[in-house]
A and B are shown apart, each in its own frame.
Chain A
Amino acid sequence: MSGSPIRSATTAPTSASGPGGSIYDLGYQSYQGPRLGRSSAVRALYGQSLRACFGIGRGGRAKIAPFTLAGLAVLPAVLAVGFAALAAQAGPGGEVIEEASPIRYETYHGLVSVLIMLFCAAQAPELFGRDQRYSVLPLYFSRALTRSDYAVAKVGGLITALLAVELAPYIVLFIGRVLVAPDPATGLADEIGNVPRFLLQGALVAGLMGGIAGLIAAWTPRRAYATAAIIAVLIIPPIIVGIVGQLTNQDLARAIVLFSPADILDGTNAAIFGSIADSPVVASVDLPGWAYLAAAAFGIVGSIGLTVRRYLRIAT
């Protein structure tokens, strides 16, 4: 019978085929397609880690903390831009008001550093602890990626997420100011100088906080403990430094200030923007700017290195 209304044009494997019809083979097929190896696996893990930091792919509840914190971090910038727009309309008097605005590139770090820290403390434990707690690591390590690939992809995802949260407000501020300026071209010229500055500060914050949070979370699979430890490491040292600075001489404070990540970032912020540090101790200790930058770089590399080492040696 030649006039069958059904004609199948698939290239699926067939079990049997005749002029009147075909049976397609639904049995197990072997995979003959491309195998992309380590780099593809690493990129996939990096992407998944980045999305997991924002709770994407994990249901609604997982998104609450990250998006709230990110939203709060951007909020001052949005307000500042709105304020600036109103001030621009108000004319010269508005400029005075605008100059007095506390929301500027150099002050932004002080405004949102706590939010960034909370973001790390909330997301890093889940990112690193989950696979350890549920013993999923052997399944990863028995695949195309190496142990160090795994660590780097995870840390990379975390740092990238932090970078996004950290830079968004600066970018909003930048664009807002450019648009709000009476002449966008001169506005751009005015503001452009800040771009490399905030990019650098943002990168240092993301790198250092992310690196430290990742390291702590990699060592502490229990979520609550990791969160508490991350917060402690970021909050307690500045307090100690402050106390030491008040009670003793400056030399001791100068010696220990570089061990406090929060103070390091405070110092880099001051160094990059040429402003005064928020912390009185940092302001008075008078270390050269490059000291903070070097300490930050060292901290970033060190913490990532130690995280990789942790995964190289973790037992399966």
Chain B
Amino acid sequence: MTASPLPAVEPTPVAAATPALEVDHVSRWYGNVVAVNDISFALGPGVTGLLGPNGAGKSTLLHLMAGLLAPSAGRVLVEGETAWRRPEMYRHIGLVPEREAVHSYLSGLEFARLNARLQGVADPDAAAARAIATVDLTDAADRAIGTYSKGMRQRAKLAGALVHEPTVLLLDEPFNGMDPRQRLHMMALLRSMAAAGRTILFSSHILEEVERLADSVLVVYAGRLAAAGDFRSIRRLMTDRPHTFTVRSSDDRRLASALLADPAVFGAELIDGRVLIRTADYDAFTRALPQVARASAVSLFEVAPTDDSLESVFSYLVRR
């Protein structure tokens, strides 16, 4: 796994460069409704996924970060400086919103050029062409966006957000409605941009996508930040929750009873042709398993932590 691009909220020991985007104790309320409640994090190069149930405040957070909304409290810092009401700061950020309709009579190239001119880019035509090329839309660039497929429309929106070469790219549900091939292309594109040094944050409901694409995650729930970082590390931190493993072996029953003798194990269940083991001590169990198996002369064919998926981590976090 690549190093997490998401420094913990405490300062890192090595003197870090100014984070591309930082959210500092930001809250946003509408009357008595608190959409975002005291959230702080910093983003650096790489891909970060933003997750949360419906209504958790993800879209609000993205709009705050893009400078489209003012925080009710706290600050949004771009390259170390406050972003609100300073248009030159917005040059660093590109937002690809979920819902906004693109004028379907414009061609892809025209749309990109429009964005370039709105951003005050020096050479709008060249910038537009470059952005279109980056998203691999050059062949269809002269057709009206209304004729595009869903995936192409998303790419057009992305091109529009890239014309001014922002260092930070924010995407709201970018894979919505895309078919598998389009999604693979988009993922490869985002990964390559991240590898080139851009900071990318995307929100999604589809955990398997986030798991594949994101180096780390931000989990938002009820307007608060529930967790941040690499989700496997987050799982390790959830110490109040026992780990479960499934094991497929040559003799499940024998293995199960041998494992129950080990103090690290407090539950073993024979289910579905496998042994399901519950343990409170991750480290002790993972070391004990091969040794117990060898001692009992049982072959191990498959070992998997059942709740090591992002899905499992996520459901735990939002059920507290």
Indicate if A touches B (C-beta under 8 A): no
Interface residues of A (CB under 8 A from B): none
